[in-house]
Amino acid sequence: MIAFVIQRLMQSVLVMLTVALIAFALFNFVGDPISNMVGQDTTLADREKLRQELGLNDSFVTQFARFIGHAARGDFGLSYQQARPVGQIILEKMPATLELSFMAAALALLLGVPMGIYTGIHRHSWLSQAMLAVSLIGVSLPTFLIGILLILVFAVMLGWLPSFGRGTVVHIGWWTTGLLTVDGWRAIILPAVTLSLFQLTLIMRLVRAEMIDVLRTDYIKFARARGLTGRAINFGHALKNTLVPVITITGLQLGSIIAFAIITETVFQWPGMGLMFIQAVGFADISVMAAYLVLVGFFFVIINLVVDLLYYVVDPRLRVGRLGAAHG
Amino acid sequence: MRSSGPLLEVAHLRVEIPTRQGVLVALDDVSFDIASGEVLGVVGESGAGKSLTGASIIGLLEPPLRLVSGSIALGGRRIDNLPDAAMRRVRGKEIGSIFQDPLTSLNPLYTIGHQLIETIRTHLDKSLSEARSSALSLLKEVGIAAAEQRINHYPHQFSGGMRQRVVIALALAASPSLIVADEPTTALDVSTQAQIIALLKRLARDHGTAIMLVTHDMGVIAEIAHRVAVMYAGRVVEIGPVRDIVDRPHHPYTAGLMASIPQTWGPRGRLRQIDGVMPRLNAIPSGCSFNPRCAQSVDRCRHERPHLMRTANGRAACWLYDDIRQDTIA
Amino acid sequence: MAELAASGVPARVAKRQAVWRRFFGSDLLWSFCHSPVTVGAAVVVIVIVGAALLAPLIAPRNPYNLASVSLLDATDPPAWLAGGDWSFPLGTDNQGRDVLSTMLYGTRLSLLVGGSAVALSVVLGVALGLIAGWRGGIVDTVIMRIADVQLSFPAILIALLIDGVVRTVLPRDAQARITLYVLVASIALSYWVHFARTVRGSTLVERNKEYIQAAWIIGVHPARIVVTHLLPNVIGPVLVIATINLATAILTEATLSFLGVGLPPTEPSLGTLIRVGNDFLLSGDWWISVFPGVLLALLILSVNLLGDWLRDAFNPKLR
């Protein structure tokens, strides 16, 4: 058990370092940081002095180590576009994205899994067919299009919900939350639904496919032959076996919600990290881009790690050795 | 609920499967009986319909397969037309099942204790501790050593033969009067096979359980069966006591089967085989389904389908044994 | 085929006829014709692709010809609404371009980018998969590690990153010229992994089979073995993945264009059009976004349906 955890931790560190390396390469070698920071009139001598001061002439490894050291403390340098520390910008935007992502993930899970189970068990009922048809549309419509459609219907035509922004937010320490005001809730509904739809359909289809596969196995057939009740078979045996592989993929999917937030935040002008990233791409603001990359990489790695550990806990075949104490 | 007649009566069972090419007949007028405590072996080539017969009896025919006519009666009571909920209670409680592959028959995520106790408590009204002690005694009975520890183990912690013993324990959990065993030893190595067969024989004797043993292995049949039914292309072609089937087969197909079993004693010659192959479901010959491969076929065999006719101690579906005065199975 | 040969028809003609016969009598065609949804999807795809390819011929106007575009026509509603005009059947956008024509040309671009990206993805992925599966060892490990790391990031992010980097490196005027290529490359680089993995898996399995070992022993050059013997046998699932991938590629291009890092408004794809129209939604000029949106949705949906059917048709478990 311990060996497994350590191995996974080391793998995570390796991936993080790779991501950091890419971010660092972006940060330092794409474009010239000096040119981005100073005006056109600065003399070559001054630039050279600045270069020396900022340690840009040191070896690659030294610069990389420095980068990691800073990154670990949340210091990503200055944003070229906004002339403020990147770390500060991220701190401002992160709560918005995290809240949105969390709501979307909750929606996707709470609706997707039950729908998947239902359509897996009752494969041919009309309700299943309807759900599948809707899911196909969910997979085919680009997220931004869904967002625009929802805005059109609920904000423009019906006027029930706002079409952009977070509504009124409450500050708690460095965190800002929109979930403590009615206004904030009204503002988060459309973006959360938009963000969750793609994941919802994926989760539903995945759970359904797994469920169907499991219901065809020999051990389910044997369970039926033993006369176990429908409920025991569907929810005791089939569901448990379905959820094991579903956990891994679902976990990874949910991680990608944070990245998909880029699109949703753009459509709804939601002041989060995704919108920040897009603006940075548009302005070629490398330090922001690099910081976003490191942060998102960090989230992914953590999620991957958690999912792997969960898998280990849930599947007994990984825990106990093969034929641990078997006799002949 | 036992009458004085046979325990299991299968009469004129017909199972069809609709396909793109039309409706195919998978089981055609299958009839046989099993008395209580008796072991009936059901033999035949792959695809002859042996497993389908077993599936029909426990009511687990997978669509699009359909049972269109015929009847199945257990202890005098019809079970083929029961509603789902009632059939579920029959399964496990009155009819136990054993399938071929012990590796995939058990849910890998639950301990065998959990699976045993669950089965016991589904059919019998026992408390958790009562069920647990029943499970323990079952495990001991099927020959699992150190049952108190092993009951908390997962299926992957057992070897193949041990797993099949667990499967047998599960089949016996609610004390059924009949067990349908579908190729229970095919996936095991030879020495384990012998152990499992010996176990089944002993348990059947001790509990008075009847067994319908489906297999293509005549060696197993010779060991354990009292009577044998031979199936070919979805039909029963011969049925009789095991010694008769093996030593004095009546139906030409049975004779061919017995002759093709390699002998390790006596003069060695070439291995005998029956020319041709068993017809596929969409190409079953008219008349007797075996006639194209039969050395003794006559014109009648090509036009008229033989029903099961009385022979010395059993029945055979062959015009060779026709006598107008005899009965057939009702 | 024996009968055909006996009747005197030359062997290669007989072989071709046999192939056609096999196709028309095959399960594949049967399941296609018996699924109305799939047939419908195929029809839609053919119509849209056809219209896009023929855009220069059938579009009422050429939206790129600046001389024909006038700001006086800006944001006119569709023909059947008040203020509309049948010479602009679906209305005009904020620069006075005919929405219908721009949609047709835009679809062309979307298909071009999507198709090229998938083609590039397939070539890259299959090649890397073959190499990884065939060579094994360190080559395999390296390629698969890269694939694993890349898989844990959503394709959109990767595409955005590549795009962003190029943007920073190149001066502005060069950017405009090569936007199309950058777009195709970034989408292709996001999706090669799926193909590589599948092909690698199949290659590992096929590599140990006798026909490959036979070719090896008689001294056939490894490259030739891989291309002529191995490749045809591992290419099957690639077709299914490629079809579904086409839908995803079109979707990704539309998303990137919508986000502003794809095709520019001067030569808009459907995504760009939707972006342009987004600003006008609140003021009630809905047609600039909605029509391209509907067309985009139809296209992706139909390709997805075709991909689904293809996957089910090739899945032995469902037959």
Q: Report the chain A residue with the minimal C-alpha distance to residue B145.
A: A327
Sheet holding B77-78, edge to edge: B22-34, B8-19, B66-74, B77-78
Chain position carrying tokens 């910081």:
A291
Helix or strand holding residue A245 (H, E): helix A239-268
Residue B285 is classified by DSSP as P
What spatial distance separates the first Cα and last Cα of chain A, rounded to whole Å? 27
pTM above 0.80, yes or no: no
Q: Sign (positive/negative) of CA torsion C218, C222, C223, C229? A: positive
Q: How confident is the model at residue C22 (pLDDT cuts 50, 70, 90)?
A: low
- Whether pLDDT at C50 is above 60: yes
Residues ≥6 apart with Cβ < 8 Å to A237: A219, A220, A223, A228, B107, B110
Q: What is the pLDDT of residue C122?
A: 93
B75 three-state secondary structure: coil
Angstrom distance (rounded) from CA B143 to CA A169 = 68
Quick check: B110 and A223 in contact, CB under 8 A?
no
Q: A256 to chain C: which residues are within 8 Å by CB?
A: 153-154
Q: For residue A313, which of A248, A224, A237, A225 has the smallest C-alpha distance?
A: A248
Point out the least confidently predicted range of A7-11, A26-30, B54-58, C128-132.
A26-30
Highest mean pLDDT among A168-177, A297-306, B60-69, C260-269: B60-69
pLDDT tens, position by position, A219-273:
999 999 998 988 889 888 988 888 877 777 777 777 778 878 889 998 888 888 8
Task: Give the strand pairing for B39-43 and A175-177.
Answer: unpaired
pLDDT band per the 50, 70, 90 thresholds, residue A37: low
Q: Strands B77-78, B210-214: parallel, antiparallel or unpaired by DSSP?
A: unpaired
Residue B8 burial (CB count, 10 A): 23
Q: Which residues of A touch B158 (CB under 8 A)?
A: 323, 326
User: What are residue B193's phi and psi, to 5 degrees?
Assistant: -55, -50
- A73 vs B164: which has the higher pLDDT: B164
Tell me the average pLDDT across C7-32.
62
Looking at residue C224, what is its pLDDT?
Answer: 84
Question: Number of CB pairs < 8 Å for A and C?
Answer: 108
Q: Say yes or no: A18 contacts chain C, CB-CB below 8 A.
A: yes
Among the partner residues A219, A226, A315, nearest to B119 by beta-carbon distance: A226
- Report how far apart, in Å, the C-alpha atoms of B188 and of each of A216, B100, B165, B196, B259 are: 23, 9, 12, 9, 25
Neighbours of chain C (3+ CB pairs under 8 A): A
Distance CA B175, CA C250 (A): 62
Of A140, A156, A282, the CB nearest to C281: A156
Taking CA–CA distances from A221, the nearest residue in chain B reads B105
**Residue of A156, A252, A281 lying closest to C164 (CB–CB):** A281
CA atoms within 13 A on the CB side of B261: 17
- A264 — contact with chain B (CB < 8 Å)? no
- Torsion angle of alpha carbons A20, A22, A26, A28, nearest 10°? 60
Q: Residue C5's pLDDT band (boundaries 50, 70, 90)?
A: very low
pLDDT digits (tens, 9 = 90+) for C299-315: 998 888 888 887 777 76
- Find the angle CA(B257)-CA(B32)-CA(B68) to the nearest 5 degrees: 105
Q: How far is A144 from chain B (nearest CA, A)?
A: 41
Mind listing the pLDDT tens digit for each residue in B132-187?
A: 999 999 999 898 888 888 999 999 889 888 999 999 999 998 889 999 999 988 88
Residues in chain A: 328
Task: Tell me, yes or no, if A102 comes closer than 8 A to chain C by beta carbon.
Answer: no
Instruction: Inform me whether the C-beta atom of residue A143 falls under 8 Å from chain C C-beta atoms.
Output: yes
Q: CA C178, CA C169: separation in Å to the nearest integer?
A: 13
Are C38 and C310 within 8 A, CB to CB?
no
Would you state the structure tokens that stand for residue B203, as one six-digit string?
């348990």
**Which of A11, A22, A148, A268 would best serve as a mutation to test chain C binding (most C beta carbons within 10 A)?**
A148
Return the closest-CA partner of residue C124 out of C185, C203, C204: C185
**DSSP-assigned states of every residue in chain C:** -HHHHHTT--HHHHHHHHHHHHHHTSHHHHHHHT-HHHHHHHHHHHHHHHHHHTHHHH-SS-TT-GGG--GGGTTPPPTTSTT-BTTBTT-B-TTS-BHHHHHHHHHHHHHHHHHHHHHHHHHHHHHHHHHHHHH-HHHHHHHHHHHHHHHTS-HHHHHHHHHHHHHHHS-HHHHHHHHHHHHHHHHHHHHHHHHHHHHHHHHHHHHTSHHHHHHHHTT--HHHIIIIIIHHHH-HHHHHHHHHHHHHHHHHHHHHHHHTSSS-TTS--HHHHHHHHHHHHTTT-THHHHHHHHHHHHHHHHHHHHHHHHHHHH-GGG-
ipTM value for the complex:
0.85
Considering only residues B172 and A15, tell me which one the structure prediction assigns the higher pLDDT: B172
What is the percentage of chain A residues whose pLDDT exceeds 70? Answer: 88
Beta bridge partners of C134: none
Q: What is the mean pLDDT of chain A?
A: 80
Task: Map tokens 């047939």 to a residue.
Answer: C39
A191-217 burial: b if 16+ Cβ within 10 Å, else e: bbbbbbbbbbbbbbbbbbebbbebbeb
Contacts 24+ apart (CB under 8 A), C232-235: C233/C202, C233/C206, C234/C129, C234/C130, C234/C198, C234/C199, C234/C202, C234/C203, C234/C206, C235/C126, C235/C199
pLDDT > 50? residue C266: yes
A contact residues 138-157, partner B, Cβ 8 Å cutoff: none
For chain C, the maximum distance between any two Cα atoms, rounded to a whole number of angstroms, is 78
CB of B166 closer than 8 Å to CB of B98? no
DSSP state of A233: I
Distance in Å from the first CA to the final CA of chain C = 26
pLDDT at A31: 58
pLDDT at A33: 60
Interface test with A, best of B157, B162, B188 (most A CBs within 10 A): B157
Q: What is the 3-state secondary structure (H, E, C) of A120-174?
A: HHCCCCHHHHHHHHHHHHHHHCCHHHHHHHHHHHHHHHCCCCCCCCCCCCEEECC
pLDDT at B117: 92
Q: What pLDDT is recorded for position B240?
A: 92
Q: Torsions phi, psi of B83, nearest 5?
A: -65, 160
Nearest-angstrom CA–CA distance, B68 and B312: 32
**Average pLDDT, integer, range A55-84:** 72
Name the H helices within chain B: 50-57, 84-93, 102-105, 112-123, 128-141, 147-150, 160-172, 190-207, 218-224, 242-247, 252-259, 299-303
The alpha carbon of B160 is separated from its chain's Cα centroid by a whole number of angstroms, namely 21
For tokens 């790391």, the residue is: C149
Q: Tokens 């199972």 appear where?
A: B15
Band of pLDDT at residue A39, cut at 50, 70 and 90: low
Which helix (H) or strand (E) element contains residue B180? strand B178-182
Per-residue exposure over C221-240, b if at least 16 CB sit within 10 Å of its own CB, e if not: eeeebbeebbbeebeebbeb
The answer to whether the CB of C45 falls within 8 A of the CB of C303 is yes
User: Residue A235 gets which letter from DSSP?
Assistant: I
What pLDDT is recorded for position A222?
A: 92
**B235-241 vs B315-316, strand pairing mode:** antiparallel
> Chain B residues with CB inside 8 Å of A224's CB?
60, 91
pLDDT digits (tens, 9 = 90+) for A76-130: 777 767 777 888 888 888 888 988 998 898 899 899 889 999 998 888 888 888 8
Q: Are B88 and A223 in contact (CB under 8 A)?
A: no
Whether the predicted pLDDT of C269 surpasses 60 = yes
Find the residue in C nearest to A22 (Cα): C161
B7/B13 Cα distance (integer angstroms): 17
**Given an 8 Å threshold on Cβ–Cβ distance, is B170 in contact with A228?**
no
Q: Which residues pair with B240 in a beta bridge?
A: B228
Query: How close A233 gets to chain C, by Cα (Å)?
Result: 22
CA atoms of A71 and A88, how far apart (whole Å): 13
Would residue A173 be called left, alpha or beta, if left means φ above 0 and alpha means ψ between -120 and 50 degrees? left
**Per residue in C88-113, pLDDT tens?**
777 777 777 888 888 888 888 889 89
CB of A229 within 8 Å of a chain B CB? The answer is yes
CA distance B280 to A152: 61
Write down the pLDDT at residue A87.
81
Tokens of B310: 């009385």
Question: pLDDT for C188-231, tens place per residue?
Answer: 888 898 888 888 888 888 888 888 888 888 888 888 888 888 88
Identify the pLDDT of residue C118: 93
CA distance B54 to chain A (A): 11
Chains contacting A with at least 3 CB pairs below 8 Å?
Answer: B, C
Whether residue A124 lies within 8 A of chain B, CB to CB, comes out as no
Quickly count: other Cβ atoms within 10 Å of residue C289's Cβ: 26
Q: Do C261 and A142 touch (CB under 8 A)?
A: no
CA neighbor of C272 nearest in space, from C88, C112, C156, C107: C107
Residue C173 has pLDDT above 70, yes or no: no
A140:C254 CB<8 A: no
How high is the mean pLDDT in each 10-residue block of chain B (330 residues)? 72 88 87 91 87 90 88 89 88 90 88 92 90 91 89 89 91 91 88 89 88 89 90 91 89 85 73 80 84 84 85 85 57
Identify the band that residue C4 occupies on the pLDDT scale cut at 50, 70 and 90: very low
Buried b (16+ CB within 10 A) or exposed e, B254-286: bbbbbeeeeeeeeeeeeeeebeeebbebeeeee
A313 touches chain B (CB under 8 A): no
Judged on CB neighbours under 10 Å (0-12, 13-18, 19+), B188 is buried
